[in-house]
Structures are given as structure tokens and as C-alpha cells.
């Protein structure tokens, strides 16, 4: 065989064919084929379970997230947090390799726990798995029991753990599993036999907006009630830069979290990312356990504050009432720039429900709503929400579809704006539609996680972000005779 015939020629696609396909993928015909696809997923709008588990762990004081599995997976979680928050995400991994995949990862776990405990001196380690140990069937319960028995870790050291198989669910399920395990571990033996301790437990859920956590705290402080914000990542992922590196800045104090079952009430602001945690709390906690929609927009924020008022027996503080008045005034001033505009939204179920509620309040139209991994229950709830407003008419909900499906929707039924995380920037460019960055991850813009989206302040921020962008576009694209000083 000659050297020439051994080398496979690279066939170049003729430019005319590239152009034909480029146009074809924008057609109804292609949309039909795209929606008929079964086995392949292209650009899904979700991350894997362990990433969610890691985020919970960062929300507890002096807690080290511990990845049982591959080093590469741990690097992916960490780098995604690094890029979104522009902060370190100190985490360890027991770095299973080929021999771990064959013989199981118990020895990796033993060595990893021992090293991490002595080197990084955490007060708790939260262990969760990647695909590899899940596929080979590592028994985490037995491994951790053995680690204690064999002295790799002190018998009383808190070591919550969660199985977070990524071929199932998404980051919000990993969040839920890890949160439940941490709360179960910390609260064991702390259940009071007397009355409740008067505290309100607040669970924001998987929310990568650090300012939202600060906003929750500010609103609760305004009520002047004792509270515990569970899995508070605000300082871990928005820490001070004063020249001193702190591996565990902030987070929910472990002693406070240990009292979770004795609270007067527990309120979750995301029900889809806390399903199992809420189920367990509902059975084990003394106080009431409820979930509400994320307080995005006026109506959802009203419901949140009225619920706090009901639970605490205190009126809504005057300063929050005044904020509401200012937000309503701003919406009245600004709704004209958004009224009737169509939006495509994608992201996590709870965020989508909050955002759609907000758009409907403005008279905007959430035209395509897409969630790339969720349940029929969510679909039903979203449709019911859309039916509450005339602006929801004609809107369609797509579950378990990806961003390439969204491409076909935008190509054949365009909208005025897209709301979602950075993954949608290719769609925005291909279809010349502005992308409003909300959700996780946002890795191509700065500081958006430092601007709250919840509460009346968040409502104001969202309105400002949306309306001003449309005004910018108008100024940048209008003909000279329509270029006005005032808008």
C-alpha cells in the first residue's frame, strides 16, 4: 500500500451545500425532524446532579464538598462555579481512576477523607458521587461506615452523603439530595421535646444569584424575627477581597442548621429543587413546612411577605411596603416598553415559574417556555399559570427538550427576547434576538449574580434590564427620522 493511499482524503463540503443546509435548518421541515429526534440531546439547559450537591455544601459553614469519583468531573463543577461567580470553589475529589473503576472506589474514599480532614480542617464534609462510582455500584453507605470503623475519619465527624447519579435528574435533584442528607445528619439527636424555637427556616433552593440570599436576609431582618437561611452561599461565592484567603467564608452555621426540626416554620422558595427535603421535613419537623413560588415580580413577592406575616404574626414592615410602592410605580412607568413583547425562556422549573409570573404582570408574552429536564407536574403547573392571564394565551410549554429544539422554535416562530443562561448566546446570535441573562451559569458577563432578582428590588432590576435593552436596540437600529432624544 502506498503512503498516499494510506492517508484518508478530507472531503470538503462545497460552499453551496453548506449554504443550503444553513438555510434549511431554519425551516418548518427541519423543525419537524428536529422535534422527532429521540436519542440525541443537543445543548441541554441543565447541569448534572453532583454540581447541585456541591453548591449546597458550599452553603454551610466550615464545610468541605467531597467528590467521590473522577477528578475531571470535580474540575468541571469547580470551574463552572469559578466562571459564574468569579470566586474559588474549594472542593476535594478522591480521584478515582481505572483501578477504582475495576475494584471500586473504597480505598480512594478512605485516603481522600483522611487527607482532606487533616489538611483542610473542615467541621463537616459533604460527600457526593459522580457517574463512575454510580455506574459500578459503589456502596457509599458501607464505605462511610467502614471509614469510621477503620479510623480514617473520627466516629462523630459529620459526614453527610448523597448518591447523585448524573444519568438521572439534573443539578436540582443533586441539590435536593445533598441538602436533605446534610440536614438529616446535623439534626440527628437535636429534636426538641418542648415547643418550637420560634425560628423561621428559609430554603432558597438552587439559586446561583448571591444577591438573592442577601435580599432574603434583609427582608427577614425587616420582620425582626429569628431565622435560619439554609445553604447560604452568599459569602462563599461573593466574599470580601481583603488580602486574606478564607477557605470557608460564611455559610449557614452548623449549630443553627442542627435546629432545623425545631423551627416554628420552614418555607422553601423553590419546590422543584427541594422535593425530598420538604417531604422529609414535613414528616420530621415540629413546625409547618410549606413551599411558595420564587418571589420574582410583585405578586409572588406579596405572597412571600404575606406568608411571613402570617407565620410570624407581624405586619409587613413599612419599609417593605414603601419598596412595593416604588416598584409598582416603576412598573407603571416602564411596562409600555415590554407590553406585548414575546419572550422565549429556558432554565430551571422554579425560576421559570417566577419569571413567567413576572412577565405576565407586565403584559409581556412568555411565548416559548422550555425546561430541559423536568416533570409533567411542572408542565401542568406552568400551563395553569399561563391560563391565569390573557397574556399567557398562545404560549407553549416544552419539557425535556433542549436548546437545539429552541433553535427551531425561534427560527419558525420568532420572539423579541430570550431569557436564560449563557448557553443561549448562540441562539441569540443566530437569530439576532437579545439574550437577557438569568439563571446558571452566566459565564460571559460580570456581576449579574450580585444584582438581586427576587423581592421588590429584584423586580425593579429585572424591569430595568429588560426595558433598557429594548430602548438601546431601538436607538441603535432606528432610521434617522425616528432617532429621538426622549423615549
Kindly list the catalytic residues.
Answer: 131, 135
> By three-state DSSP, how is residue 220 classified?
helix
Site for ligand SF4, residues 137 to 176, rule: CB under 6 A? 166
Residue 76 binds ligand SF4, judged by CB under 6 A: yes
> CB of 372 within 8 A of CB of 402?
yes
Pick between residue 56 and residue 278 the one whose CB is nearest to ligand SF4: 56
Spatial separation of the C-alpha atoms in residues 372 and 467, rounded to whole Å: 27
Residue by residue, DSSP assigns 394-459 as: T-EEEES--HHHHHHHHHHS--SEEEE-GGGHHHHHHHT--EEE-SS---SSSSGGGS--SHHHHH
Q: Cβ-closest residue to ligand SF4?
A: 73
Residue by residue, DSSP assigns 7-39 as: SPPPPPPPHHHHHHHHHHTTSHHHHHHHHH--S
Residue 356 beta carbon to ligand SF4: minimum distance, rounded to whole angstroms: 28
Pick between residue 130 and residue 274 the one whose CB is nearest to ligand SF4: 130
Q: Per-residue contact track with ligand SF4, 36 to 65, x per CB under 6 A?
A: ------------x-x---------------
Interface with ligand SF4 (CB under 6 A), residue total 7
Pick between residue 63 and residue 70 the one whose CB is nearest to ligand SF4: 70
Residue 78 beta carbon to ligand SF4: minimum distance, rounded to whole angstroms: 11
Residue 50 beta carbon to ligand SF4: minimum distance, rounded to whole angstroms: 5
Pick between residue 129 and residue 212 the one whose CB is nearest to ligand SF4: 129
Nearest to 84 by CA among 212, 238, 206: 238
Candidate list 130, 201, 300, 301; residue touching ligand SF4; CB under 6 A? 130
Residue 457 binds ligand SF4, judged by CB under 6 A: no
Beta bridge partners of 92: 66
Residue 170 makes CB contacts below 8 A (sequence gap 6+) with 46, 47, 48, 49, 52, 372, 373
Spatial separation of the C-alpha atoms in residues 42 and 58, rounded to whole Å: 30
Residue 136 binds ligand SF4, judged by CB under 6 A: no
Sheet with 396-399, strands from edge to edge, namely: 396-399, 365-371, 342-346, 417-420, 435-437
Residue 222 beta carbon to ligand SF4: minimum distance, rounded to whole angstroms: 40
Residue 173 beta carbon to ligand SF4: minimum distance, rounded to whole angstroms: 12
Residue 374 beta carbon to ligand SF4: minimum distance, rounded to whole angstroms: 18
Using alpha carbons, list the distances in angstroms from residue 400 to 31, 273, 374, 405, 482.
16, 16, 6, 10, 43
Candidate list 55, 56, 64, 73; residue touching ligand SF4; CB under 6 A? 73
Candidate list 131, 292, 316, 473; residue touching ligand SF4; CB under 6 A? 131
Residue 91 beta carbon to ligand SF4: minimum distance, rounded to whole angstroms: 13
Pick between residue 100 and residue 357 the one whose CB is nearest to ligand SF4: 100
Spatial separation of the C-alpha atoms in residues 138 and 106, rounded to whole Å: 8
Pick between residue 132 and residue 260 the one whose CB is nearest to ligand SF4: 132
Pick between residue 48 and residue 293 the one whose CB is nearest to ligand SF4: 48
Query: Which burial class, exposed, middle or buried, applies to 18 when counting CB atoms under 10 A from its CB (0-12, 13-18, 19+)?
Result: exposed
Q: Tell me which residues touch ligand SF4 (CB under 6 A).
A: 48, 50, 73, 76, 130-131, 166
Amino acid at each position: 500500500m502506498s503512503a498516499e493511499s494510506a492517508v484518508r482524503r478530507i472531503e470538503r463540503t462545497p460552499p453551496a451545500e453548506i449554504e443550503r443546509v444553513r438555510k434549511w435548518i431554519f425551516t418548518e421541515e427541519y423543525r419537524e425532524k428536529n422535534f422527532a429526534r429521540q436519542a440525541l440531546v443537543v445543548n441541554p439547559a441543565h447541569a448534572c446532579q453532583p454540581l447541585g450537591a456541591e453548591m449546597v455544601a458550599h452553603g454551610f459553614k466550615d464545610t468541605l464538598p467531597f467528590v467521590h469519583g473522577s477528578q475531571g468531573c470535580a474540575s468541571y463543577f469547580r470551574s463552572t462555579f469559578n466562571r459564574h461567580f468569579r470566586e474559588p470553589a474549594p472542593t476535594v475529589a478522591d480521584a478515582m481512576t481505572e483501578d477504582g473503576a475495576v475494584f471500586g472506589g473504597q480505598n480512594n474514599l478512605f485516603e481522600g477523607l483522611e487527607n482532606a480532614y487533616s489538611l483542610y480542617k473542615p467541621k463537616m464534609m459533604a460527600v457526593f458521587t459522580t457517574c463512575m462510582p454510580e455506574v459500578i455500584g459503589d456502596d457509599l453507605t458501607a464505605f462511610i461506615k467502614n471509614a469510621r470503623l477503620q479510623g480514617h475519619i473520627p466516629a462523630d465527624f459529620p459526614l453527610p452523603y448523597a448518591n447523585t447519579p448524573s444519568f438521572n435528574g439534573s443539578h436540582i435533584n443533586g441539590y435536593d439530595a445533598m441538602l436533605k442528607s446534610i440536614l438529616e445528619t446535623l439534626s440527628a439527636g437535636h429534636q426538641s421535646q418542648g415547643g418550637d424555637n420560634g425560628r423561621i427556616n428559609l430554603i432558597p433552593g438552587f439559586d446561583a444569584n448571591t444577591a438573592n440570599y442577601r435580599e432574603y436576609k434583609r427582608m427577614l431582618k425587616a420582620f425582626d424575627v429569628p431565622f435560619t437561611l439554609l445553604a447560604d452561599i452568599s459569602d462563599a461565592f461573593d466574599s470580601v477581597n481583603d488580602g486574606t484567603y478564607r477557605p470557608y467564608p460564611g455559610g449557614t452555621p452548623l449549630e443553627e442548621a442542627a435546629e432545623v426540626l425545631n423551627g416554628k416554620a420552614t418555607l422553601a422558595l423553590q419546590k422543584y429543587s427541594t422535593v425530598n427535603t420538604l417531604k422529609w421535613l414535613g414528616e420530621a419537623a415540629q413546625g409547618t413546612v410549606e413551599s411558595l413560588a420564587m418571589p420574582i415580580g410583585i405578586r409572588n413577592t406579596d405572597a412571600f411577605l404575606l406568608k411571613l406575616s402570617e407565620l410570624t404574626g407581624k405586619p409587613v414592615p413599612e419599609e417593605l411596603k414603601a419598596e412595593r410602592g416604588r416598584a409598582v410605580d416603576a412598573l407603571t412607568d416602564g411596562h409600555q416598553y415590554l407590553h406585548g413583547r414575546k419572550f422565549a425562556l429556558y432554565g430551571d422549573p422554579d425560576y421559570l415559574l417566577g419569571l413567567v409570573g413576572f412577565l405576565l404582570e407586565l403584559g409581556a408574552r412568555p411565548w416559548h417556555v422550555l425546561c430541559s429536564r423536568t416533570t409533567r407536574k411542572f408542565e401542568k403547573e406552568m400551563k395553569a399559570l399561563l391560563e391565569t392571564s390573557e397574556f399567557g394565551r398562545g404560549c407553549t410549554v416544552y419539557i425535556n427538550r433542549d436548546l437545539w429544539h429552541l433553535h427551531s422554535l425561534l427560527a419558525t416562530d420568532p420572539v423579541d427576547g430570550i431569557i436564560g443562561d449563557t448557553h443561549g448566546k448562540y441562539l441569540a446570535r443566530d437569530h439576532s434576538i437579545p439574550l437577557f441573562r438569568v439563571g446558571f451559569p452566566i459565564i460571559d458577563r460580570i456581576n449579574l449574580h450580585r444584582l438581586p432578582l427576587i423581592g421588590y428590588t429584584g423586580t425593579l432590576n429585572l424591569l430595568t434590564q429588560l426595558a433598557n435593552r429594548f430602548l438601546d436596540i431601538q436607538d441603535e437600529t432606528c432610521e434617522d427620522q425616528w432617532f429621538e432624544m426622549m423615549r
